[in-house]
Each structure stands twice: as structure tokens, then as C-alpha cells.
Structure 1
Amino acid sequence: MARRAAMFFGWQVVAAAFTVAVFSWGINFYGPSVYLHALHAREGWSLSMISAAITLHFLASSLVVTRLPALHRRYGLAAVTRAGLLACAAGALAWGHAAEPWHLVPAALVTALGWALTSGVAINAMVAPWFDRRRGAALAMAFNGASMGGVLFAPLWAVLIDAFGFAGASAWVALLVAAIGWPLAGHWFRAVPADRGLFPDGAPRPPPPQPVAAPAGPLWRQGPFRSLSLAFALGLLAQMGLLTTLFSILAPALGDAGAGLAMSGATACAVIGRTVVGVLLPPGIDRRLAGCANFLLQATGCLILAAAGSGPVVLLLGVVLFGLGIGNLLSLPPLIAQAEWPPEEVAAVLALLTAVNQAFYAFGPALFGTALQGWGAAAPPALAAGLQVAAAGVLVAGRRR
């Protein structure tokens, strides 16, 4: 039995989903900051114009992602994931070879398609059929690829751009994603457990059904959905905005090298926090309470950052507390949806939830950049703390009774 559990194919699927997340977040989430700097340096285009294209990238993706469950049903997970990875590769090429300002629009639309087809909703669709009782741990491991996308791709972009220029670097990244992603998706995402004579979690028999009463009416009219989507939209708005300005907040006290290391430390903390919650979260606990605790942990870290002044030790404490909660804003919504909606509705819940989230956090960099410029280094973390406390209140208020 121990050997069978160790060889369970679902864990191979988790590893494949982890790899997709590395590519997707490396190109579509962490990549835009690279595109902003590289294009401004190469072409001399204004930061506001390039930033507008990045906002278009996130907004357009929010429109496409709502159709992802339907695309999976019609074409299959493997084919849609392959298309998404090819769009990621083509989008990276388009950003790297943009020679006129109008080229930014098709580049943003192509990466938006890749982001919609390979981000959080897609990762959940890859992992969920293979796990029920251990889904929290499996999702945490798969979503750790999102954090590794930042850890690996930021230095990779820098090395490649230094050696080949931005256009050449984008070609190498596109080749890497296409060469690995195409066979990976075809091998690991075609089957479901029944195709291999398996059951979720590698169990010897199917899990007993856990009936969940579906809230009545369309999702927009369901109180639990409205509270869940608004809470995580506020949390991700705070998170995206603060991450955009965090280097500028830390650099005066820590120096550029120290600020870079602290940013990497925040990413490492995200992996730790997500893994701990995924592995240790008790099955019977109200997962909204776990989400509320996560928001409040991040808010505490933000308040420390806002009050830290120039003290490096206190700043690093704030970074650690904020970083521990970063990853859970990706992995907790699928677990909450699993507990509160029937299995056949979870994909639609997550797709619409993701669309709402992206529509909010697309404006995070502009909002927090304005706060930093207008009120100084304490303003962005203070704003983030307020948003996270509000998110915790909304999430708890929406608990189903």
C-alpha cells in the first residue's frame, strides 16, 4: 500500500501543474515588470504607455478566463493547456519584438490569452480530479510553481537580456516554454483517475460522496460568491500593489542589493506559508476562517512596514509576515469553493472569481504607485493593510450559516 501511494500518478500531475505554473507566472505575472523596464530602456517609450499595455493584459485575461471551464469541456484539458502555453510563448516573442507602440496591444492580448488558459483556474482543473481529501496539499505544491516562476524567471530574463538583448531573450524563453510545455501537457493532462483505474488520493475505493447544497440563483446573486470574490479581489489588489512598490520602500534602508534579497525572501516565505496551510489545514475547519487569518497576518506585516521608518530589522519582519500570506491568496479560494459549492459548479465559481480578481488587481500598480509618489513610503503598506482588514471582514461576513 505504501508503494502504491508513493507511485500515485496524481503526484506526477501535480509536478506537471507546478511546471505549467512556473512558465505561466514567469511570463505573464512577473514578466510584465521585465517588459516595462526593457522596452523603456530600448525604445524610450513612456512608462505610462507601457504600463497601460500591461493593464490591458490583465483586463483582457479577466474576460477570457470566464470561458475556461467551457473550453475544457469542449476541447479537453490537454489541448487547451497546450494552446495556452503556445500563447505564452508567442506573447513573450511579441513583447520582445515590439518595435512600434501599437505593437504592445497585440502583445498584451496574446499574453492575456496565455494567462487565462494557464493560470489559477487551469492549475485547479489539472489537480482537482486527482485529489479530494489531500487536495489542499496537492494544490499548495502545484501553486508553489507560481512563486518559483518569480524566483527562476527574474534572473533568467536578466541573464538572457544581457546576453542576447530583449528580442533574443524572448525567443529563447518562447522556445523553452514550447519545447517543454507541448509534450508535458499531452502526457500528464489527458487522463483522469478513472482512465487509469484509480481513485482520488490513490485510495483503493472511491471517496464517499459529500453532498454540498448549492446556493440558489446565478453566481452574481449568491451572497457567498459575492463575499468570496470581493474579499480576495481586495486582498489581491493590496498584494499586487504593494509588491509593485515594495522594492522602492525597502531600498533606502537596505540598499538595492538588500531590497532585492528581501523581495526574494518574501517569495520564499510565500512557498513556506502556502505549504504549511495546505498540509496542516484540518479537513473540518471553516476555510473562510483560515482566509481571514491569512489576511490579518498580511495586514500585520503591512502595518509594521508602514511604521518601520528606516529600521532594517523591523522592515524585514514586516516582509516576512506579509510574505507568508502571499501564496495562500491563490490556493485558498479553490479550497473554499470545494467546501461551499457542488463539484460540478466549482470550475465556474473559480473562473468568475478569477475574472473579478484580475479586474481589481490590474489597477494595483497605478494606485499604489500614486500613493507612494504622493504620500511617501508609509502610504502603500498602510493602504494595503486597510484593504486586507476589509477583505477579512467581507470574507467572514459571507460565511454560510
Structure 2
Amino acid sequence: MARPRKAMFRGWQVVAAAFVVAICSWGINFYGPSVYLHALQAREGWPPALIAAAITLHFLASGAIVTRLPGLHRRFGLVAVTRAGLLACAAGAAAWGHAAAPWQMAAAALVTALGWALTSGVAINAMVAPWFDRRRGAALSMAFNGASMGGVLFAPLWAALIAAFGFARASLCIALPVAALGWWLAGQWFRDTPATLGLYPDGADTPPAPRPAAAPAGPLWRQARFRSLSLAFALGLLAQMGLLTVLFSLLAPVLGEAGAGLAMSLATGCAILGRTVVGLVLPAGLDRRLAGSANFLLQAAGCALLAAAGDAPALLLAGVVLFGLGIGNLLSLPPLIAQAEWPPEQVSAVLALVTAVNQAFYAFGPALFGAALQGWGAAAPPALAMALQAAAAGVLLRGQRRA
């Protein structure tokens, strides 16, 4: 007699839902600001520095809000907070599209800041983590691949809609489906937990073994391992955000605009590949801080090639590949390191504060790297990124020794 087929573990369906949330959130809040800058400058004639200041406000305000996210989840639940976050993403996108005065642009930045805080990395971890323990690395990698897909899908979608309808109507074409989809998605997939369904993480038949590590003593800011984790990834994301802002400008003189666009897509594809490989390898026992340091050094090697490439297309593309392979892991590695080094009840607070520190740093990346490009030429931004990533690798390993 044939054995009944075991149903698919619901946790993977939650991962798929988190993947879609990440597409929407990053498409509006992370990749969208560069579109907003170009569209508002073209329509309103505002100076780029003024629009860039509003974008910086978006990231800084989000960093301040995200520290409250674990408390909001406890008080209102994952469904309500996720719905509020996606509604804020949608309303903020529409507000950017309809901004007709600088104060309206600043108000739009605060709305998208709320949406970004409630739906970005800390939120994705809160959606996925309860469902996985042993396979959390693979699950988070798959969910965070939605962040990269947000760039792949939303950047050309924004461009096509703006060309067809103008920025204001295009923003509504983005906002309304995101609001409707987000409301349904949150209620459908984020209401249950493994406990409410009588399940165990990873679809196992028994609960996971408790982790033996004791809780680190004292407030997070006084813990050496937390300081090293937050500073390392803040430096890495500062380098990454800044270099991505100017990368097209570095590639276009050699590869042409079409070639530069394809190279940017290559970097995104490598980000998905790198994140997936690390997510599959880490459960085998690889030290997570060592993996993070290796990831920073891989990107540093790519930046070294970009700085030295000059007019050599092959070196530029090799640099893009090495840099791109590490892009996605700067999102997925902090939750995995936190899972290994803090008790489960502290992980959300650790990630919220790490995210706040990261955003306080990388909010200034575009301005810093733009100034480096303007002041010292094409080799300066990748050289600066290389130095920051090497420093990040050292800081992360130092925290390992002092933990």
C-alpha cells in the first residue's frame, strides 16, 4: 500500500510570501529613490542635492523607526504591522510621485521611511525565523533574494510607467497593486506560527535542541560582539551603497550605456547566486563571522579590479562579478550571525539596532562616493570601497576573538 504523500511544509510558503514582500519593499524604498531623484529633477527642476537630502532623510528616519519594530510586532502582531508597512510603502511612493513642493517631498520621505522600517530586513527575518532553525540560512537567503528581484523588476517598471504616463500616474500604478497585494498577503501567510499549527521548525517531527550559549551580559552597546557586528556591516553597506550609486557612471565610458546597464544586471544576478550559495553552505558548520569576513574580502578584491581596470572591459566585468557575488550576503548574514550568538528572544532586538546603525552609515554613501568621483576621478570610489570592506572584515573577525 502506498504511503500518503507528506504535505509541503508551510514554512516554505511563508518564505515565498516574504520574498514577494521584499520585492515590493526594496523596489519602492531602496531602488526607488534613484528613480525619484531623476524624475523629480526632470519634472520640477529641483537641484539634485535638494532631492538627495530628502532621500537621506528617508534612510535616517527609517533607521530611527526600525529600532521599535520588535516592540510593534509584540504589541500589534506581524499581520497588522506588515499591512501597515506595505500601505506606507504604497502611500509614500504615491506621495513622491505627486510632490509639487520641497516640503511635500520631505513628507513623502517620512512616509516611505515608515514603510521601509516595517518591511525591510528585520521584518523579513521576523516572518521567516519562527519557521526554521537548522535550515534558516537557506530560508533567509531565498526570502532575501526578493530584495535583488526588487531591483531587477521595479527599476525597468518604474522607467516604463514614467515614460508612458508621467511620474505622478506611474506612482499610482505602482502604489495601488502593492497596497492590495500586501493586505491580502499578510493576512494569508503571516497570521499563523508553527506553534499555532502544531508544527516544529524545518518541518521536523521533534523540537530543535536548545542552544547552549548563554545570553551575553549587559546592554547591547556594551557588548563587544554586538559592536563588531554592527560596525562591520555598517562599513560594508556604506561601501556597497556608495559604490552602487556611482557604478553606472564608472562603467559607461568603457562599456557604453547599454553595456553598463547589462553589467549592473550582472551584478544583481551575482548577488542572488552568492546569497544562495552561502545560505546552502552555512548550515554545514562554516563559522558565520569567518564567512562574513570572506564576503567582505571578496568584494574588496572586486573593487581592487575596478580601481585598476582603466579602459580594460574584461577587468571591469571581473570586478563587477566579484563585487556582485557579495552584495546579497550583507543582508542575509547578520541574522545568521545573530542567531548563532544571541538567545532567540534577543535576536530581533539585535537585528533592529544593527539595521539602525547600518542605515545611519549608508544614508551618506551616495554623497560620499559622489564627492570622491568628482574630486579624484574614476579610480577613487572603488579604492574607497575596497578600504572600507577590508576594515569591515577585520572588525568582524576581531569581534569573533573577543566574544
TM-score per shorter chain, which class? Answer: over 0.9
Deviation (angstroms), 1:2: 9.8
Q: Which residue matches 2:93?
A: 92
Question: Match of 2:117, SS?
Answer: helix
1:44 aligns with 2:45: yes
Q: Which residue matches 2:181?
A: 180
Question: Match of 1:167, SS?
Answer: helix
Q: Which residue matches 1:60?
A: 61
Map 1:264-283 onto structure 2 (within 5 A). Answer: 264-283=265-284
Report if the CA contact (8 A) 1:238-1:387 is conserved.
yes
Structure 2 residue identity aligned to 1:23 = C
Report if the CA contact (8 A) 2:300-2:385 is conserved.
yes
Q: Which residue matches 1:250?
A: 251
Q: Which residue matches 1:159?
A: 160
Structure 1 residue identity aligned to 2:342 = W
Structure 1 distance, partners of 2:102, 2:4, is 58
Q: Which residue matches 2:353?
A: 352
Report if the CA contact (8 A) 1:21-1:146 is conserved.
yes
Q: Which residue matches 2:240?
A: 239
Q: Deviations over 1:183-236 (max 9, x none)?
A: 000010011001111110000111111132111100000000000000000000
Question: Match of 1:194, SS?
Answer: coil
Question: Match of 2:14, SS?
Answer: helix
Q: Deviations over 1:150-173 (max 9, x none)?
A: 000000001110111000000010
Deviation (angstroms), 1:59: 0.1
Q: Which residue matches 1:215?
A: 216
Q: Which residue matches 2:303?
A: 302
Deviation (angstroms), 1:3: 4.3
Structure 2 residue identity aligned to 1:321 = L
Q: Which residue matches 2:22?
A: 21
Q: Which moved more, 1:86-95 or 1:275-284?
A: 275-284
4+ long deviations beyond 2 Å: 1-4, 282-285
Question: Match of 2:332, SS?
Answer: helix
**TM-score, normalization by structure 1:** 0.99
Structure 2 distance, partners of 1:370, 1:188, is 44
Q: Which residue matches 1:79?
A: 80
Q: Which residue matches 2:139?
A: 138
Q: For this pair of structures, how many residues does the alignment match?
A: 400
Structure 2 residue identity aligned to 1:140 = S
Question: Match of 1:55, SS?
Answer: helix
1:368 aligns with 2:363: no
Structure 1 residue identity aligned to 2:363 = A
Structure 1 residue identity aligned to 2:242 = G
Deviation (angstroms), 1:283: 3.9
Structure 2 residue identity aligned to 1:13 = V
Deviation (angstroms), 1:282: 3.9
Q: Which moved more, 1:148-157 or 1:274-283?
A: 274-283
1:260 aligns with 2:252: no
1:333 aligns with 2:334: yes
Structure 1 residue identity aligned to 2:165 = F
Structure 2 residue identity aligned to 1:171 = L
Report if the CA contact (8 A) 1:308-1:314 is conserved.
yes
Question: Match of 1:195, SS?
Answer: coil
RMSD: 1.0
**TM-score, normalization by structure 2:** 0.98
Structure 2 distance, partners of 1:46, 1:347, is 39
Structure 2 distance, partners of 1:345, 1:269, is 32
Structure 1 distance, partners of 2:283, 2:199, is 25
Structure 2 residue identity aligned to 1:226 = R
- Cα gap change, 1:79/1:242 in structure 2, threshold over 3 Å: closer, same or farther? same
Report if the CA contact (8 A) 1:253-1:312 is conserved.
yes
- Cα gap change, 1:282/1:205 in structure 2, threshold over 3 Å: closer, same or farther? closer
Q: Percent identity?
A: 80
Q: Which residue matches 1:230?
A: 231
Question: Match of 1:263, SS?
Answer: helix
Structure 1 distance, partners of 2:201, 2:5, is 16
Q: Which residue matches 2:106?
A: 105
Map 1:277-296 onto structure 2 (within 5 A). Answer: 277-296=278-297
Structure 1: 5+ residue stretches without partners: none
Report if the CA contact (8 A) 1:133-1:283 is conserved.
no
Question: Match of 1:57, SS?
Answer: helix
Structure 2 distance, partners of 1:361, 1:378, is 20
- Cα gap change, 1:350/1:182 in structure 2, threshold over 3 Å: closer, same or farther? same
Report if the CA contact (8 A) 2:135-2:283 is conserved.
no
Structure 2: 5+ residue stretches without partners: none
